[in-house]
Structure 1
């Protein structure tokens, strides 16, 4: 549905490092970058992009949910995100109140955003 999502961050270097580390399990890498006020585009090959830029504005907190191909990616994301400095907001596990195979993990990123990785597939 989305081509890209772009939002401001309070610490460009820290946010860039966080998202690269946390989303490495799903193949996210830098695909383009300008000055910090223009920003960086992060994406897995051939997928929608996440774009970050430096701002002094205080944006409202976001809930960003990324798609995983399998539950192992969800678990790897959670570990990587915590190692990158995120705060736990929900360990990897099933969330059957959404649907029977909703397997997700949630963390709070550098700017207080709720970052999620979700797999909708049954366990292999």
Structure 2
């Protein structure tokens, strides 16, 4: 559905450390883009869709805040419960804050297992696995 999504952060090093860790836990990858931004996606061989994360303002964006004006929510698809657990541990060890430990979410018939963390800028980042 999406080709790419972008958002700004205050501290590129803190964001890169956090997103490198959660990408690795979920079998994704980050890649250099510019001195003030990086990309997060599946891999170099499968670059789309991707997240653009940076501190600069691309020329095609309108004037506005220096970082995302309100918290955003991004949910990553995990391959299994173990990947959700690994995401959560990696996020907390790399600047994330607990916002919901791994566990079942929603009605039982959804068969959804997820975890929530806040990234260094306060964005709600989720990893989830839908069983069966």
After TM superposition, the score normalised by the length of structure 1 is 0.87
The 1-side partners of 2:119 and 2:26 are apart by 17
Which string of whole-angstrom CA distances, capped at 9 and with x for unpartnered residues, describes residues 30-66 of structure 1?
2341120xx2111122252111010524521001101
**What is the CA-CA distance between 1:5 and the residue it aligns to?**
1.0
- What root-mean-square deviation, in Å, do the aligned CA atoms of Structure 1 and Structure 2 show? 1.7
Q: Is the 8 A contact 1:108 1:115 kept in 2?
A: yes
In the TM superposition, residue 98 of structure 1 has moved relative to its aligned partner by 7.7
Shift of 1:71: 0.8
Structure 1, residues 94-113: CA drift from partner, whole Å, max 9, x if none?
A: 01338531100000110000
What residue in structure 1 maps to residue 105 of structure 2?
95
Mapping for residues 6-85 of structure 1, pairs under 5 Å: 6-36=6-36, 39-45=37-43, 46=46, 47-55=48-56, 56-85=66-95
The aligned counterpart of 2:60 is: none
Q: What SS does the corresponding residue of 2:116 show, helix, strand or coil?
A: strand
Task: Indicate the structure (1 or 2) with the bigger Cα radius of gyration.
Answer: 2
Gaps of 5+ in 2: 57-65
Q: Gaps spanning 5+ residues in structure 1: where?
A: none
For these two proteins, the number of residue pairs brought into alignment is 120
